[in-house]
Amino acid sequence: MSMVVMKFGGTSVEDPAAIGRTAAIVAGRVALGKTPVVVVSAMAKVTDQLLRAGAAAALGDRTGALAISSRLRARHRDTACALVKNPADIADLLNFIDLKFDSLDEVLRGLAAILELTPRISDLIVSYGERVSSRIVAAAFRELSIAAAHVDAREIIITDSQFQKAIPLDALIEKRAAEKLRPLTNQGKVPVMGGFIGSNEAGITTTLGRGGSDFTGALIGGALPAEAIEIWTDVDGIMTTDPRICPDALRVKVISFEEAAELAYFGAKVLHPATILPAVKKNIPVLVLNSRNASNEGTRIISLAPHCKSPFKSIAVKKKLSIIDVVASRMLMTHGYLSEVFAIFDKFQCPVDMVSTSEVSISLTVDSNDKLPAIAAELGKLADVKYEGKKALICMVGEDIRGQNGMAAQVFNAIRHINVRMISQGASEINMSFMIEEDDAEEAVRALHAAFFQHPDPAIFDVGARKKLVDS
């Protein structure tokens, strides 16, 4: 049986039309003889709205919180009615939706009385998004003759008790998937479950962190195991760079896990790097596909990328960064000095992106944030400190960049007209990054894209799309 996990994001289930497209895509896989297991997000924006309802209730705004919930109830009911026509099925579905929103309202009322929003209650509140969306999608699939069976994700995704960022317990998930999903697929059913949510061993609802539905997809894919994990979203896949900056950006047809993770970390919004780890561990390919353009073959993410004639696969940009220069008043490399510096960032829970050191100074980059003045004041006790915002990080990713002679020279020659502040080619063999002024970012990306994607390797990049662009 060729199992495939199909994960659909919020925009792929945002309204009846999107759910209809999603159903057609799943039906297409069934027609090809595949056995899908479907994972869905909450409908677009619902998680944010649930969080807003929780925040309002916790401030004592009972009316405001209940108003958000009531709008969400109406949106889910309307979507259900547009999709499900069978009288018994729609009655059953509306009853389910009402029961869930009744209990959500009860939680919000309680919260407005006790005025304390704990991470545990927050997870309970947001869980309604995926619990309701998955039930609607399952019913819509059945209406369209897909033998769907709704499964409560919390019975399968077992996690520890770190609410809002729970760690999955792989062995238990594998066991539950075998017990609860396998029997369904063996009967020819298509399990449909929510992403993002889980429960601890005591059955208390947890979540895997924002954007966690991809993670659920990879966890289920790893647990079954599936032959592939499909992440259905609203872009054609991973691109050679942001097409808003370079209209001639190309789709990357195939990329390694490691390269995709580097890109995700440096701001390419397609996938969260940790999400694909369960797939990497079991060597299961992950496909990024577009539910609005389903015939496009997307990007295939695999363990070992095939050889590519072009040195780079993609250029990512991360903006809104600051550089902090710490100039030591005593010898930098004195024992314990760096740990004192990092302890300050730790105290303010401020992650550091890039570090470079010299004998007397350290430069660090962080996301621009309002804690910087306080961090600088503390660092000022150890050293002279300067910080400057409006910086951008350009990150160029490609297999074995270091193995190729003269690559750095080619990169910096392409952007010789731009002032480069900080360079790092340290930790990873496959990433070359540097810091420039934010105002120069787009020009730098265009110059680099023109230099390195002039003659793209057709085995790796979708050059057909560029031809069409030129011809039209």
The contact set with ligand ASP (CB under 6 A) reads 9-10, 41-42, 47, 129, 195-196, 210-213
- Count the site residues for Mg ion by CB under 5 A: 2
Residue 467 burial (CB count, 10 A): 10
Residue 212: name its binding partner from Mg ion, ligand ASP, none (Cβ under 5 to 8 Å by kind): ligand ASP
Pair of tokens at residue 60: 């004592």
DSSP bridge partners of 230: 6, 287
298 or 398: CB nearest ligand ASP: 298
218 or 401: CB nearest Mg ion: 218
Residue nearest Mg ion, CB atom distance: 211
Closest distance of CB 291 from Mg ion, Å: 12
198 or 211: CB nearest Mg ion: 211
Range in contact with Mg ion (rule: CB under 5 A) among 2-10, 72-80, 311-319, 361-369: 2-10
Closest distance of CB 124 from ligand ASP, Å: 14
Q: What distance in Å separates the CA atoms of residue 402 and residue 353, rounded to the nearest whole number?
A: 21
Closest distance of CB 209 from ligand ASP, Å: 8
Closest distance of CB 196 from Mg ion, Å: 9
421, 446, 451: which is closest to 433 by C-alpha? 421
Residue 195: name its binding partner from Mg ion, ligand ASP, none (Cβ under 5 to 8 Å by kind): ligand ASP
Contacts of 140 (CB under 8 A, 6+ apart): 16, 19, 20, 23, 83, 84
Residue 196: name its binding partner from ligand ASP, Mg ion, none (Cβ under 5 to 8 Å by kind): ligand ASP
Range in contact with Mg ion (rule: CB under 5 A) among 4-12, 58-66, 216-224, 389-397: 4-12
Closest distance of CB 170 from Mg ion, Å: 22
Compute CA distances 107 → 120, 129, 161, 204, 353, whole Å.
12, 14, 20, 15, 39
Which 3 state secondary structure label does DSSP give 384? strand
Does position 9 bind Mg ion by CB under 5 A? yes
235 or 415: CB nearest Mg ion: 235
Residue 109: name its binding partner from Mg ion, ligand ASP, none (Cβ under 5 to 8 Å by kind): none
In angstroms, the first-to-last Cα distance of the chain is 43
Residue 217: name its binding partner from ligand ASP, Mg ion, none (Cβ under 5 to 8 Å by kind): none
Pair of tokens at residue 25: 């895509």
Closest distance of CB 44 from ligand ASP, Å: 9
Residue 129: name its binding partner from ligand ASP, Mg ion, none (Cβ under 5 to 8 Å by kind): ligand ASP
Q: Amino acid letter at 194?
A: G
Does position 211 bind Mg ion by CB under 5 A? yes
The burial of 97, by beta-carbon neighbours within 10 Å (0-12 exposed, 13-18 middle, 19 or more buried), is given as buried
58 or 271: CB nearest Mg ion: 271
218 or 246: CB nearest Mg ion: 218
Closest distance of CB 434 from ligand ASP, Å: 31
In this structure, the strands spanning 314-328 and 205-207 are unpaired
Contacts of 454 (CB under 8 A, 6+ apart): none
211 or 398: CB nearest Mg ion: 211
Residue 42: name its binding partner from ligand ASP, Mg ion, none (Cβ under 5 to 8 Å by kind): ligand ASP
Closest distance of CB 316 from Mg ion, Å: 17
16, 46, 45, 31: which is closest to 140 by C-alpha? 16
Compute CA distances 433 → 314, 318, 326, whole Å.
12, 10, 20
Q: What distance in Å separates the CA atoms of residue 339 and residue 170, rounded to the nearest whole number?
A: 34
191 or 211: CB nearest Mg ion: 211
Closest distance of CB 193 from ligand ASP, Å: 13
C-beta of residue 202 within 8 angstroms of C-beta of residue 163? no
Closest distance of CB 322 from Mg ion, Å: 27
Binding to Mg ion (CB under 5 A): which residues in 89-108? none
238 or 305: CB nearest Mg ion: 238
**DSSP conformation class of 10:** G
Q: Residue ranges of the alpha helices (H) in 320-368? A: 337-347
257 or 345: CB nearest Mg ion: 257
164, 152, 155, 156: which is closest to 206 by C-alpha? 164
Residue 261 burial (CB count, 10 A): 24
Q: What distance in Å separates the CA atoms of residue 28 and residue 106, rounded to the nearest whole number?
A: 41
C-beta of residue 401 within 8 angstroms of C-beta of residue 312? yes
Q: Which residues bind Mg ion (CB under 5 A)?
A: 9, 211
